[in-house]
Chain A
Amino acid sequence: MTTLTTTPAERAYEPVIGLEIHVQLRTRTKMFCGCALSFGDEPNTHTCPVCLGHPGTLPVPNAEAIHFALMIGLALECELAPRSIFHRKNYFYPDLPKGYQISQFDIPLWRSGRLGDVRVHRVHLEEDAAKLVHAGASGRIHGAEASVVDFNRGGTPLVEIVTEPDLSSPEQAGEWLRLLRATLKRLGVSDVNMDEGSLRCDANVSIRPAGTATLGTKTELKNMNSFRFLERGIAAEVVRQEEIVSAGGKIEQETLHFDPQTGALSSLRSKEESHDYRYFPEPDLVPVAPTEAMLDRARAALPELPAARAQRLEREPGLPTDTARLLAFRSDLGDFYESALGADGATDPRTLASWVTVELVARLGDVDPADSPVAPEALAELVRLVSTRSVSGSAAKEVLDAMVADGGRPEAIVAERGLGLAAADELETIVDRAIEANPDAVEKVRAGMGKAMGAIVGAVMRETKGRADGGEVQRMVRERLGLG
């Protein structure tokens, strides 16, 4: 596995990266027929004469898909084509029942947008192909013993988003794709699940002498189905290109397949082998001409988007940038956070944010906290108990464990399990016992060896089962030893 030097100063070449993203829309039905969308259902149970390409059938565009595509274009601040048209993209493959894909070509629905610091070249609508399953060792159609087709996926509405080549590192590409994914998820237009293929990403990669503005010959990396593979694939391709160019070679325009297992890049087809898709306007469809009412409806459906939310959270409660981004990009966390914040005005917003993004995430992983037993107001209450020193930090984590397991209110759990901070007189007694029981440590502390304090505080914590504040115990020990 090659590694990529990421310090620009050390590099003779800089990568130029653009992304092409396919997004399956989560409409009720397919792009051009009434079949329900599905994932993982029994093969060929969601098909009809239209999506099987039977003779005489005709496509009818899905209004909801157009609505979703309008929302996406608005969210990406694109310019609308008053009349965009569908084309036929012709090629033979068993997953393409009509022998052509209905897609948009020279007049896409949207052009010239932006998300974050990356310009969006175009956004268009098309239909997905069916799914091929190859029997045999190769796992690909060449060398397969047999191939079968599941047409359930065929005709699923897709939005293709193409960026300008504004990205300059694999990490930046990954980061931007995360922002796009969060944005699409927030719009509610797609499941954006890379494992299941509802979000798929190709990358166009070229390199150029660092600091210049020329564009080199690009290669296209196909279907990297996770953020990690995307970053690794681009990194590997940049290294490959750097090696070729450094050795005086020339980059060939080709389409490459990245194997995440081996990290190897293999050529799918060269420029000479590239398809002539013979695009021409789809005569079975009329142009898409969104009305003002359709646009109004799409605008009204736009929620606050992650980029804006991150800015707001950074500005208003004053969260650190990374925390604000995490809450904004995972809108389930953001929603939970803001709901908790609203439930208890006394809670410190920054501390609460840290409890959501660190402690809660550590326990729930990718699960939406709204689907967990933890109520937002309960977490807010717990954070308040910590900040009013009614419970220690470590005890609070135990309380959170209990809340994640069984729900409940923190105060009740604290009471039930006796996790409240030890009362001052009780603590004094325990501290005195600890001093008596650790004469060596006491000697060392008196001698100025601060580290020895740990043994005494540890003893107190053991005896209180964590119901004491470490700092407070230290203060008491010093006072008792006359070091205050």
Chain B
Amino acid sequence: MKPKATAEVKIPVQLQSGFHVNSNTPSEEYLIPLRLTWEKSAAFETVETIFPEPQTEKYEFSPKPLSVFTGDFEIVARVKARDLASSGPGILLGKLRYQACSKTVCYRPRTIEVRLPYQIQ
């Protein structure tokens, strides 16, 4: 990839059947949103992070339907190589924070690392 070039990165996420995560725009303030953040990089800037359209699901524990993701979905990050990016390999590091629940149990918020190897020409 050359300096100034842009790329679209698709990050697939799989959730076990019966579980959901709150979307990036939860319907209630107290819910923990799905978040993808990127560490500062000398080679790249993150132009945009695009989440899929959330689903609206009704659960017994909430009077209002919730904005969630279930099953398999993709998060898309648009990145741009900086003008003065040095040539050579590197890794763009991100963090995906999520909080998953089923109808009967919730898991405490977790953050997993997303590593995107790249090569600047």
B and A form one assembly: no
Q: Which residues of B are at the interface with A, using a C-beta cutoff of 8 A?
A: none
B-contacting residues of A (Cβ < 8 Å)? none
